[in-house]
Structure 1
């Protein structure tokens, strides 16, 4: 999997969604915003969307690894 240089706004969207998931209150709007941003980032950079999504989740949820 390639190393991604995620923009701060994409990291912030995923961090907010992760906080909502942990609190048991993820909203459709938050999930949709993340998916739209991931799709746009992947398309602009020429990456596979699924790899981008996995990399983003790893960067936010497991920053030590």
Structure 2
């Protein structure tokens, strides 16, 4: 079963990735991403770590 990524998760991770690349990741941004991942994983009954990995791959390596 494929992991479903919401638009909200993707937007949050894109914002975090942009901040990481700029060397300016804030605690608030990182915390928002982690909270959204945890909430989504619990609601969908998915493994939190697999969800996070799929999200990062989707945002950071879209061609993979």
Q: Aligned ranges for residues 31-50 of structure 1 at < 5 Å?
A: 31-50=30-49
Please identify runs of 4+ aligned residues in structure 1 that moved more than 2 A: none
Structure 1: runs of 5 or more not aligned: none
Q: CA deviation at 1:3?
A: 2.2
TM-score (norm 2): 0.95
Q: CA RMSD in A?
A: 0.8
Q: Aligned ranges for residues 1-65 of structure 1 at < 5 Å?
A: 2-65=1-64
Q: CA deviation at 1:40?
A: 0.4
TM-score (norm 1): 0.94
Structure 2: runs of 5 or more not aligned: none
Size of the aligned set, in residue pairs, is 64
